[in-house]
């Protein structure tokens, strides 16, 4: 399987890349700084910005599936009207459509609401916290949700929220999935999340056009 991973150089991007390689995938990593990734077998690194359409198209040419892990902690929302994460994903989706690619998996914050959400206290609190302390990120996430909802590609948006248990734990331990937020708790394992993102990308029907919430249990 050939997977293209778009990352801004954070830890989650590294975990997803490692996971895909361990599963035997041919990986193309698209990052702003190629020096941040050490070379390995079956890994091709392409350096470029998310605004460079030609480079984005180059990264997508051989892809069977695409994983985008553009996380808020890796960007600066200098101006209120800027939405770099949503715009980056919009560029990837547009380039995919041009090339006839269909499977797209990305990650976003639980402040992105999906149809049927229970919006329990944890989701409401996480959303309000983001609105107050990181209004630029909140606006970016809202636009990201709209970009995905309007796309006719086979996408999956995995929603998360950082928490006290956000450090790595063993895959499968203390992590679960909710489609409506009724069982949601802040926090997750990056290693387990990376595994889930890879599995979703490899399975064309796994949470197709849905927004599952990935969270820690307990």
Cα 90 from Cα 102, distance rounded (Å): 14
Residue 149: in which H helix or E strand, if any?
Answer: helix 135-150
Tokens of 203: 């399975």
**149 CB neighbour count, 10 Å cutoff:** 14
pLDDT score recorded for residue 73: 61
pLDDT score recorded for residue 80: 66
Tokens of 119: 């919006």
Tokens of 68: 């985008």
pLDDT score recorded for residue 1: 95
Cα 37 from Cα 39, distance rounded (Å): 6
Cα 192 from Cα 189, distance rounded (Å): 5
pLDDT score recorded for residue 26: 98
pLDDT score recorded for residue 58: 98
- Per the listing, tokens 């949601």 go with 184
Provide the residue-wise pLDDT of the chain in tens; the chain has 218 residues: 999 999 988 889 999 999 999 999 999 999 999 988 888 999 999 999 999 999 999 999 999 999 999 987 656 655 667 899 999 999 999 999 999 999 999 999 999 999 889 888 888 999 999 999 888 899 999 999 999 999 999 999 999 987 654 444 444 557 889 988 888 888 888 899 999 999 999 999 999 999 999 988 76
CB burial of residue 147 (10 Å; 0-12, 13-18, 19+): buried
Closest to 10 measured CA to CA, from 79, 92, 68, 83 = 68
Alpha carbon 56 to its chain centroid, in Å, reads: 16
pLDDT score recorded for residue 173: 55
pLDDT score recorded for residue 88: 95
Secondary structure (3-state) at 30: strand
| pTM, entire model | 0.92
Closest to 192 measured CA to CA, from 210, 212, 214 = 214
pLDDT score recorded for residue 74: 58
pLDDT score recorded for residue 168: 42
DSSP-derived pairing of the beta strands 213-216 and 175-178: antiparallel
């Amino acid at each position: 399987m050939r997977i293209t991973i778009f990352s801004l150089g954070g830890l989650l991007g590294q975990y997803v890349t490692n996971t895909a390689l361990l599963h035997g995938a041919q990986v193309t990593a698209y990052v702003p700084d190629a020096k941040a990734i050490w070379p390995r077998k079956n890994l091709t690194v392409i350096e470029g910005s998310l605004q460079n359409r030609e480079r984005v198209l180059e990264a997508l040419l051989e892809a069977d599936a695409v994983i985008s892990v553009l996380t808020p902690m890796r960007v600066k929302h200098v101006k209120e009207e800027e939405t770099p994460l949503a715009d980056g994903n919009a560029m990837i989706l547009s380039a995919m459509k041009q090339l006839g690619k269909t499977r797209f998996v990305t990650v976003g914050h639980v402040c992105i609401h999906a149809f049927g959400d229970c919006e329990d206290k944890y989701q409401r609190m996480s959303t309000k916290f983001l609105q107050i302390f990181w209004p630029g990120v909140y606006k970016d996430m809202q636009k990201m949700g709209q970009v995905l909802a309007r796309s006719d590609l086979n996408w999956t948006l995995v929603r998360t929220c950082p928490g006290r248990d956000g450090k790595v734990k063993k895959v499968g331990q203390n992590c679960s999935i909710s489609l409506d937020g009724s069982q949601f708790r802040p926090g997750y394992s990056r290693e387990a999340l990376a595994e889930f993102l890879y599995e979703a990308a490899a399975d064309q029907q796994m949470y197709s056009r849905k927004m599952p919430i990935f969270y820690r249990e307990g």
